Amino acid sequence: MDRRRFIGTIASGLLAAPLAAEAQQTTKVARIGYLGRDIVPAPHLPEAFLQGLRDLGYVEGRSVVVEYRDAEGKSERLPALAAELVALKVDVIVAASIQPALAARQATRTLPIVFATIGDPVSSGLVASLARPGGNVTGLSSLTPELVGKSLELLKQAVPGVSRVAVLWQPGFLGERAERDSLARAEVAAQALGVRPQFVEARNPADFERAFSEMSRARAGGVTVLASSMFLGERRRLVDLAAKNQLPAEYPLREFVDVGGLMSYGANVADLYRRAAAYVDRILKGAKPGDLAIEQPTKFELVINLKTAKALGLAIPQSILLRADEVIQ
């Protein structure tokens, strides 16, 4: 499916959806700008946002219009796309992740911006604090830096004999301070677990083969993948490379496990996108973004794929299986 047909499908789905309520009927049709780095590889995320709007009674073409701008995986396009949305005079911009959010804030300091999921919006420099963001930006945090240590711990428990673990990350994705924090937390957690970390960079998909070759040469016994919208969009390729190199891998989102990854631990990101609609609703009703506290995840999921474990020759300990929110057979 090409991108125009995909965006049309999302819009049509909202138009045809039954009303949850008619509470949002107004004489003015709200216009929302949706800015993403790469929308197509994860269509369930904008769909979750649209479902949130439906739940609040919004109907495409009657009470709301959504203007989509997709960078198609090319981050350098985001500033121009953000400027387009500002020029359209949308009522609010929804930013799918950190890079679109930063581009949107660069384009405007007055138009409201709601981000759907960002690991640490404070250290990324988007907001002043979680309780009182200030400025024109607010949204939801996925607590990404805090999860790094837990992810390594779960991988160590799933593969008890592992002594060296690779940490795959995308430089520039989280923002300098959040990035530094995440890597420092990984270092501390690895030392506490008695494993040696190997930090491996991948700036774009062309780096994946080289990254996994580095892991193999260093005899890594496992890999934990840090959050990145690029990694999410390329999740099937990353999962295939982990399988090809016989590397047990832990991921930040369940979407990786759904396509064959071994295990994941993190926030339910689709739920965050759905909840972003409530921020948009409050702003459209007159709330100021700077007064809306940043919300954090209400649910963290541990998902394990036993089929993948079997292919790797792993016997996942019963203690981990009992803690899992979902086990894929």
Whether residue 108 sits in one domain with residue 91: yes
Domain span at 96:
3-143+268-299
The amino acid sitting at 175 is G
> What radius of gyration do the chain's Cα atoms show?
20
Q: How much is the pTM?
A: 0.83
197 contact partners, CB below 8 Å, separation of at least 6? 164, 165, 166, 167, 186, 187, 190
CA gap 328, 305 in Å, rounded: 5
Q: Are residues 310 and 276 part of one domain?
A: no
Of 23, 20, 39, whose CA–CA distance to 116 is shortest?
39
How much of the chain is helix, strand and coil, in % rounded to 5? Answer: 45, 20, 35
Instruction: State how far Cα 214 lies from the chain centre.
Output: 26
CA-to-CA distance for 323 and 303, rounded, in angstroms?
A: 9
Short-list 58, 61, 107, CA closest to 87: 107
Each residue's pLDDT expressed in tens, for the chain with a length of 329 residues: 455 555 555 555 544 444 444 444 445 899 999 999 888 888 999 999 999 999 999 998 899 999 999 999 888 999 999 999 999 999 999 999 989 999 999 999 999 999 999 888 888 889 999 999 999 999 999 877 778 899 999 999 999 989 999 999 999 887 777 788 889 999 999 999 999 999 999 999 999 999 999 999 999 999 999 988 899 989 999 999 999 999 999 999 999 999 999 999 999 999 999 999 999 999 999 999 999 999 988 778 999 999 999 999 999 999 999 999 999 98
Residue 110 CA to its chain's centroid (Å)? 25
Domain match, 225 and 272 both: no
Residue 155 backbone phi and psi in degrees, to 5: -65, -40
Asked if residue 92 lies in contact with residue 33, where contact means CB atoms within 8 angstroms, the answer is yes
Q: Please, which residues bridge with residue 116 across strands?
A: none
Q: Can you read off the two tokens belonging to residue 322?
A: 């009992």
- Residue 38 sits at the vertex; the CA angle it makes with 325 and 124, to the nearest 5 degrees, is 75
Cα 183 from Cα 198, distance rounded (Å): 11
Q: What is the CATH number of the domain that holds 309?
A: 3.40.50.2300
Say if residue 125 is in the same domain as residue 153: no
242 with 262, same domain: the answer is yes
Task: Report d(CA 244, CA 238) in Å as an integer.
Answer: 10
Residues 157, 88, single domain; the answer is no
Considering the domain architecture, whether residues 289 and 311 belong to the same structural domain is answered as no
DSSP-derived secondary structure letter, 76: G
- Residues contacting residue 203 through CB under 8 Å, at least 6 positions apart: 170, 171, 172
Q: Are residues 284 and 313 in the same domain?
A: no
Tokens standing for 94? 């929804």
Beta carbons within 10 angstroms of residue 93's beta carbon: 30
For residue 180, what is the DSSP state?
H
Co-location of 84 and 27 in the same domain: yes
* Secondary structure of residue 254 in the 3-state scheme: helix
Amino acid at 119: G
| 218 and 283 belong to one structural domain | no
Same domain, 122 and 62: yes
Q: What's the number of domains the chain is made of?
A: 2
23 plus 115 within the same structural domain: yes
